Amino acid sequence: MLFWSSASPNLFRRSSLFCALALVLFSGSSAAAALVDSLGRKVEVRDHPQRVISLAPSLSEIAASLLESEIHRLVGVSEWSDFPAQVKKIQTIGPYHRFSLEKVVALKPDLVLATADGNAKEQVNHLQDLGIPVVVTRQQSLAEIADTVLLVAQALSMNEKGREIAQKYRSELLQFQKKSHSLSSQRVLLQLGDRPLVVAGAASFLNDALLALGAKNVYLESKQAYPHPSLEDALSKNPDQILILSLGADSSQDEQMRSKWLDFKTLRAVQRAQVKLIRSDELLRPTPRIVEGLKKLRQLLDDPGR
């Protein structure tokens, strides 16, 4: 799901070829002052980079919101990048958790935007070894979404626009939190996947979303962002509500996940008819649009009949 994952060693056996390409592609870059990314690394990025690649849908969305009329500078995006609509037309470099190194290099980027919460660490390190500037972001909390906007804006040489978007997001989030009443009595399990079961843990922006509503994550004690507990462990938590989070339209797989829980008649969430699906790109992508996702989540948790 959203984590540094291991990549196959076979992906890195063409190092000599990639290094040769990198010398040709990047030796002439005009570097600006180094910026510091979310991992604390100093990264030399040229002023106003013209060939930018995003390795995650959330970063594609943030970059597009900053670039607007200059979206042509975004030459490659990960699969499932679909907001705003213009990014659907941009060449894809594969899924965020297993992108194509060959496609990235072939696009001759002068900047790559990556996430520590989703891209394979080995692949990102390999791009860095080739001399490609890679700015790594982190979005494990609602606050870090604003930090990511500012960091991406700095990398794109669009600081003023970044400050505008970050401030607007912070203001909207603050207004939401002021209006949101406490749901402290609600113990919630947020499910993101099945086979294996994947839930939201403490080190995730989704846990932050529950905290913003005053609800309690039953996996709050987990230090992982997205742990894979056993079904038996999940049942032992006996949550008041189970929310199955999904991207996009309805699917039979989502319904199958929901049906599995309904077999456990003694489960509190089942007895209360509180096993629900929530389809919200806004909630599942750590971008400023998450405020809209939080509103949907609040409505779902507030209404026992939904």
pTM (predicted TM-score): 0.86
Residue 28 in this model has a pLDDT that exceeds 50: no
**Do residues 65 and 165 lie in contact, with contact meaning Cβ atoms separated by under 8 Å?**
yes
**Do residues 93 and 1 lie in contact, with contact meaning Cβ atoms separated by under 8 Å?**
no
Residue 1 in this model has a pLDDT that exceeds 50: no
Residue 170 in this model has a pLDDT that exceeds 90: yes
pLDDT at 184: 66
Q: Phi and psi dihedrals of 185, rounded to 5?
A: -80, -10
**Do residues 110 and 253 lie in contact, with contact meaning Cβ atoms separated by under 8 Å?**
no
Q: Which residue has the tokens 């190194």?
A: 101
Domains of the chain with bracketed CATH: 9-173 (3.40.50.1980), 187-302 (3.40.50.1980)
pLDDT at 118: 87
pLDDT at 302: 79
pLDDT tens across 110-134, in order? Answer: 999 999 988 999 999 999 999 999 9
Do you know the residue count of the chain?
306
